[in-house]
Structure 1
Amino acid sequence: MTELWVVIPAYQEEARIEGALRALAAQRDRDFTLLVVDNDSADGTVDKVRAFAERAPFPVRVLVETEKGVGCAVDTGFRHAIAHGAALLARTDADCLPQPGWTAAARAGMLASRGLVCGHITARHDEHGPLGRTVFRVLVALGAAFGRIRPAHRRRHGYLVPYRMHAGNNMAITAELYQAVGGMPRRPSPTDRMFINSVRRHTTAIVHRRDMVVQNSTRRIRAYGVLGTARWYLERGAGARGVDPR
């Protein structure tokens, strides 16, 4: 079977990463290697991962990336995976919960498209009630709609396919395509739009799978508020806030 690696960038995630690890252990397709790239945390994130590795149903590796920024951690992780034989790459985040069919859908999507696979994100059920989850859906839909109509994203700028919102915490890409587009921008979040636009300039092999589902943390809503989160999804950045809401 084509070798799949799952990469998780993590920073100060001692309190949350165990949920992501348990979710990966519950996958129906567990024929993958997990690589956690710690962005030089000062808490017990790495200890939690190493303790999980002792009982994990798949190989687990840990890297420490001292250059700050989620883009740096992801790029380091993907390139390490490729150097060690990965042909297929999937990514989620340490505060997310991939649903049991996630790795199977990611693998199937990459093998069918030979490109980039964008998954479906929903709000974590353990962080907000129905109202909070509805707000999250609205904000994601708003960000996706804005991305489609934004002049800078139009195909006249050299893009081969229309814009589609791409969540970095739920994506998969072949190693060949990742290298061809130059990798993830090595910078702090947000990096998702820059990366999807690099792919759009290179190929039409971009697909969306509704069965590739990740429950996304809504802690940005609590940290930024609804208006601040809307600003984030509308590509206006974090304002005076830091990009990391922990």
Structure 2
Amino acid sequence: MFDVHQIDVSPWLLLTLVSVLLALWYVQDVIAAFRTPRLDPHPGLPDDGPLVTVIIPARNEATRIGACLEGLAQQSYRRFEVIVVDDDSHDGTADVVRTYTACLPSLTVLSSKTLPHDWAGKCWACWQGANHAHGAWLLFLDADVVPRPALIAALVERARAGRDMITLVPLIHLTSFAERLVLPPFIGLISAIYPFDRVNDPSSPLAFAIGQCIMMRRETYAAIGGHRAVRGSVLEDMDLARLVKQSGYALEAAHAPDLLEVRMYNGWSTLSEGLKKNAVAGYRSGGTRSGLMGLRLGLMATMPWNMLAARFALTLLSGDPALAQALALAGVALLLIGAICWGIVLRYRFRISPLWGVLYGVGTAVYFALAAQALRQIRSGKGVVWKGRMFLR
């Protein structure tokens, strides 16, 4: 018979603490997802108010910008103008945009001037659009987003509540296997690094914005220097948010799955390029917090498998059989808890089957591999490529 008095307390205590901690983290992510601030359409949204200038930087978006413009044409709030800045496209983007002048009479197409050497392309396009704007509010949208009819009305309502900058996270459509595998852990990591309750707290220095949808008071944009102040940044959205908050202006971030939709990437090639670019810039922007949250996600994804591996190692080495059995039970239990919790988050956040939660840990490993590859490319001087442009830092 096995004598319980011979058990070494330390590995059992460590196993218990790690198991409880991981289980709490899984549940914590579910709670955080459901508590994230949301902006939803509802009856009574304004149909009149300040002029809003919608600015869309577009580089080779001929196949996707149409859905964005169609969504703008259906807005319930009608006091807005649209400026599309053609950022040196070679796929006929400007020609496609001009076909929408009938349904968007306020539409203007600008051809971007030569990109200055110290500017990032998107910043340069947004800056030129802002300089041609007439609105009291500037709404920057990516060319691949699809606005729902109540988007501008809901933003104007929040602006009237005293906000200076509002950023909305759209519903992200995950279509291919690669997108469903890798994007959820990436978005989950961003959500952990930048919890919106702290982002929206004026007393917290934490700032966040997503370039897919940013609306800013024109006076605020001018006061912080606009895109000129962040002209060389790959994460211009985050840097703008940081400037807004540091300057004492009111920042609000929210999820808006019923106001805005997007498919960020269209398969593995664009996904890997985009995540590499964001991984490098995001790590440098998030600093220590990025590292800690990355470590947390890594432990959640790998520790249950490590427990199962340790169980087999103990068995092969004729180690403590009770501890081996406990490791196996803890590993399986944590895999199950993690899959359930991640599945709930995926269903709520992306509206896909919760069964994808089973592969969340695998997706996490793939994302970290992409991030590591990007860092190696940057350090070796090769840089990372996005939309035909090289980023070396």
| Shorter-chain TM-score range | 0.7 to 0.9
Question: Which has the higher relative contact order, 1 or 2, with Cα contacts under 8 A spaced 6 or more apart?
Answer: 1
Query: SS in structure 2 opposite 1:6?
Result: strand
Where structure 1 has 5 or more consecutive residues not aligned to the other structure, the ranges are: none
Deviation at 1:180, TM superposition (A): 0.6
Deviation at 1:143, TM superposition (A): 1.9
Structure 2 CA distance, aligned partners of 1:228 and 1:43?
Answer: 20
1:121 aligns with 2:164: no
1:162-241 to 2 correspondences below 5 Å: 162-184=205-227, 185-187=230-232, 189-211=234-256, 213-219=259-265, 222-223=268-269, 225=271, 229=275, 232-233=278-279, 235-236=282-283, 239=377, 240-241=383-384
Q: Would the aligned equivalents of 1:118 and 1:172 in 2 still touch at CA under 8 Å? A: yes
Distance 1:111 1:195, change over 3 A: same
Distance 1:231 1:33, change over 3 A: closer
Deviation at 1:2, TM superposition (A): 1.2
Cα deviation digits, residues 44-75 of structure 1 (max 9, x gap): 1111111111x214410111113440011111
Structure 1 CA distance, aligned partners of 2:190 and 2:388?
Answer: 19
Aligned to 2:143: 94
1:38-49 to 2 correspondences below 5 Å: 38-49=86-97
Decide which moves more: 212-221 or 59-68: 212-221
Deviation at 1:3, TM superposition (A): 1.1
Normalising by the residue count of structure 1, what TM-score does the alignment of the two structures yield?
0.81
Distance 1:181 1:138, change over 3 A: same
Cα deviation digits, residues 3-33 of structure 1 (max 9, x gap): 1111100011111111111111122223210
Q: Would the aligned equivalents of 2:265 and 2:271 in 1 still touch at CA under 8 Å? A: no
Structure 1 CA distance, aligned partners of 2:73 and 2:241?
Answer: 28
Q: Would the aligned equivalents of 2:178 and 2:268 in 1 still touch at CA under 8 Å? A: no
RMSD of the alignment, in Å? 3.0
Distance 1:229 1:218, change over 3 A: same
Deviation at 1:164, TM superposition (A): 3.8
Distance 1:130 1:120, change over 3 A: farther
Structure 2 CA distance, aligned partners of 1:175 and 1:221?
Answer: 37
Deviation at 1:199, TM superposition (A): 0.8
Of residues 135, 139, 145, the one that matches 2:192 is 145
1:244 aligns with 2:290: no
Distance 1:121 1:180, change over 3 A: same
Cα deviation digits, residues 163-216 of structure 1 (max 9, x gap): 243101111000010001110222363311211111111124111344473223
Structure 2 CA distance, aligned partners of 1:210 and 1:101?
Answer: 14
Query: SS in structure 2 opposite 1:138?
Result: helix
Structure 1 CA distance, aligned partners of 2:274 and 2:135?
Answer: 38
Aligned to 2:63: 15
Structure 2 CA distance, aligned partners of 1:109 and 1:145?
Answer: 24
More strand by share: 1
Structure 2 CA distance, aligned partners of 1:225 and 1:206?
Answer: 29
Structure 1 CA distance, aligned partners of 2:209 and 2:122?
Answer: 15
Distance 1:107 1:163, change over 3 A: same
Structure with larger Rg: 2
Distance 1:205 1:48, change over 3 A: same
Normalising by the residue count of structure 2, what TM-score does the alignment of the two structures yield?
0.53
Distance 1:220 1:142, change over 3 A: farther
Structure 1 CA distance, aligned partners of 2:386 and 2:108?
Answer: 27
Distance 1:20 1:228, change over 3 A: closer
Q: Would the aligned equivalents of 1:31 and 1:58 in 2 still touch at CA under 8 Å? A: no
Of residues 53, 72, 90, the one that matches 2:124 is 72
Deviation at 1:223, TM superposition (A): 2.5
Cα deviation digits, residues 78-105 of structure 1 (max 9, x gap): 1220xxx310111111111122221111
Cα deviation digits, residues 123-165 of structure 1 (max 9, x gap): 136xx169835743432231232356xxxx9x9xxx9643243
Q: Would the aligned equivalents of 1:91 and 1:171 in 2 still touch at CA under 8 Å? A: yes
Of residues 89, 107, 110, the one that matches 2:159 is 110
Decide which moves more: 113-122 or 226-235: 226-235
Structure 2 CA distance, aligned partners of 1:220 and 1:160?
Answer: 39
Query: SS in structure 1 opposite 2:211?
Result: coil
Query: SS in structure 1 opposite 2:108?
Result: strand
Distance 1:243 1:115, change over 3 A: same
